[in-house]
Amino acid sequence: MVSVGASSRVLPEGKRFAVSLCYDGGSPSHLESVAPCLEALGLQATFYAPSTAILDNPTAWRSLADFGHEIGLAPYHDWVADDGTLEAPSESLVACAEDDLRLLNELFGARKRSLGLPLPLEGSAKLRRERAEALAGLLPAELLGIANGLRTGIEGTNDLRRIDPFGLRTLPALSQTADSLRGVLERDRAKPCWHILTFHGVGCGDPAVDAVEHAAFCLWLAENRTTIEVATVSELCARVARAENGVAAAGDSERARTVRKP
């Protein structure tokens, strides 16, 4: 866990806080709307797409990986119902993650990846939190050797002064406007926070954020990149690990833009 004061080694000089954009579920809108928007603005994101979605169009997903987007591990997205109930047998949890990792490495090249848990979408905020906590609590310790970080479905922000990369919280961005998303970030602008925003559909599907609002928010992030660090979940998890060893932040992660083709 990063200690107080280590956040200066996670964020490059001049950056006030960090943002990771996550896209869950492998929606076609991620390929058709999200990727062109992000790439036009030079922003990299994390996509937690189940293997079934990736295998439907591996060429398109390879294009995302080649740009430097993280194709993270999402072994349980096909196994968790909207109410947060895990339908996979507990004894197969590690095997599911290992199978997904082998597939992604074969398709996109071997590299560190974070693991994303599905977000419970139904019920009150209290019920969703209980279900997300229960799901995170089911995962065996062996997963720590498979991924370099774990984005849970627990709602909240992450304090870069004291952070556990295997207990990352997220902010669901399911139907917000650009203004409401900016408001969430501006509220904590003076704190060394890491905001992980999770989208599902963009412009289509349910739940979904409006494509125009999503584009406007991403443009705002790009225009404020001198003070906001936008990076993938895996990249920031790697910086957290380096900070624990007293290593300074790496800048704008240029090496992630030159992912080796398999």
Q: What is the pLDDT of residues 115-129, one digit of tens each?
A: 999 988 888 889 889
Q: 208, 200 in Cβ contact below 8 A?
A: yes
Check pLDDT > 60 for residue 260. Answer: no
| 121 three-state secondary structure | coil
Q: Which residues on neighbouring strands pair with residue 198, listed in sequence order?
A: 22, 172
pLDDT, position 258: 31
Whole-model pTM? Answer: 0.89
pLDDT, position 122: 83
Domains, the chain: 6-258 (3.20.20.370)
> Stretch 106-110: mean pLDDT, rounded?
95
| 41 three-state secondary structure | helix
Sign of CA dihedral 213, 217, 220, 222: negative
58, 59, 50: which is closest to 27 by C-alpha? 50
Check pLDDT > 50 for residue 256. Answer: no
